[in-house]
Structure 1
Amino acid sequence: MNLEVAAELKALDSTLDSIEAVLDVDKLRAEVDELSAQAGDPDLWNDQERAQQVTSRLSRAQAQLRQITDIRRRLDDLPVLYELAEETEGAEGQQALEDADTERNRLRKDIEALEVRTLLSGEYDPRDALVTIRSEAGGVDAADFAEMLMRMYLRWAERHEYSVDVYDTSYAEEAGIKSATFAVHAPFAYGTLSVEQGTHRLVRISPFDNQGRRQTSFAGVEVVPVVESTDHVEIDEKDLRVDVYRSSGPGGQGVNTTDSAVRLTHLPTGIVVSCQNERSQLQNKASAMAVLQAKLLERQRQEEQAKMDALKDTGSSWGNQMRSYVLHPYQMVKDLRTDYEVGNPAAVLDGEIDNFLEAGIRWRRQTQQASN
Structure 2
Amino acid sequence: MAADFSSRLDDLNGTLASIETVMKLDDLRDEIRDLEQQAGAPDLWDDVEAAQKITSRLSYLQGDLRRVEELRSRIDDAAVLWEMAAEEDDEATRAEAEREVDSLQKSIEELEVRTLLSGEYDSREALVTIRSEAGGVDAADFAEMLLRMYLRWAERKGYPTEVYDTSYAEEAGIKSATFAVKQPYAYGTLSVEQGTHRLVRISPFDNQGRRQTSFAGVEVLPVVEQTDHVDIPENEIRVDVFRSSGPGGQSVNTTDSAVRLTHIPTGIVVSCQNEKSQIQNRAAALRVLQARLLVVRQAEQKAELDALKGEGSSWGNQMRSYVLHPYQMVKDLRTETESGNPGNVLDGDLDAFIEAGIRWRKEQEATADAV
* C-alpha distance 77-135 of structure 1, shift in aligned 2 (>3 A): same
Instruction: Provide, for residues 304-355 of structure 1, a one-character-per-residue CA deviation record: whole Å limited to 9, x for no partner.
Output: 332599xxxx9x9764111111111222111111222222211111111111
Shift of 1:368: 1.2
- Please say if residues 298 and 305 of structure 2, whose CA atoms lie closer than 8 Å, have aligned partners that are also in contact: no
- Please say if residues 32 and 61 of structure 2, whose CA atoms lie closer than 8 Å, have aligned partners that are also in contact: yes
Q: Normalising by structure 1, what TM-score?
A: 0.88
Task: Give secondary structure in 1 for the equivalent of 2:269.
Answer: strand
Shift of 1:62: 2.7
Matching of residues 82-161 of structure 1 within 5 Å: 94=92, 101-161=98-158
User: What residue in structure 2 maps to residue 291 of structure 1?
Assistant: 288
Shift of 1:57: 4.7
1:177 matched to 2:174: yes
Report the more deviating stretch, 113-122 or 72-81: 72-81
* C-alpha distance 343-48 of structure 1, shift in aligned 2 (>3 A): closer
Q: Normalising by structure 2, what TM-score?
A: 0.88
Shift of 1:60: 4.1
User: What residue in structure 1 maps to residue 187 of structure 2?
Assistant: 190
Shift of 1:253: 3.8
Task: Give secondary structure in 2 for the equivalent of 1:230.
Answer: helix
- Please say if residues 332 and 344 of structure 1, whose CA atoms lie closer than 8 Å, have aligned partners that are also in contact: yes
1:334 matched to 2:335: no
User: Which of 251, 270, 286 is the matching residue for 2:248?
Assistant: 251
Task: Give secondary structure in 1 for the equivalent of 2:303.
Answer: helix
Question: What is the Cα-based RMSD across aligned positions, in Å?
Answer: 2.9
User: What residue in structure 1 maps to residue 27 of structure 2?
Assistant: 27
User: What residue in structure 1 maps to residue 208 of structure 2?
Assistant: 211
Shift of 1:171: 1.0
Instruction: Provide, for residues 66-122 of structure 1, a one-character-per-residue CA deviation record: whole Å limited to 9, x for no partner.
Output: 3322322333333445567789999xx84x766655543332222111111111111
Shift of 1:197: 0.8
User: Which of 260, 263, 267 is the matching residue for 2:260?
Assistant: 263
Task: Report the AA paired with residue 132 of structure 1.
Answer: T
Distance 2:349 2:200 in 1: 19
Task: Report the AA paired with residue 116 of structure 1.
Answer: V
Task: Report the AA paired with residue 151 of structure 2.
Answer: L
Report the more deviating stretch, 24-33 or 280-289: 24-33
- Please say if residues 49 and 229 of structure 1, whose CA atoms lie closer than 8 Å, have aligned partners that are also in contact: no
- Please say if residues 133 and 216 of structure 2, whose CA atoms lie closer than 8 Å, have aligned partners that are also in contact: yes
Distance 1:83 1:253 in 2: 68
Distance 2:223 2:278 in 1: 21
| Residue ranges of structure 2 left out of the alignment (5+ in a row) | none
User: What residue in structure 2 maps to residue 67 of structure 1?
Assistant: 67
Task: Give secondary structure in 1 for the equivalent of 2:142.
Answer: helix
* C-alpha distance 283-308 of structure 1, shift in aligned 2 (>3 A): closer
Distance 1:141 1:59 in 2: 41
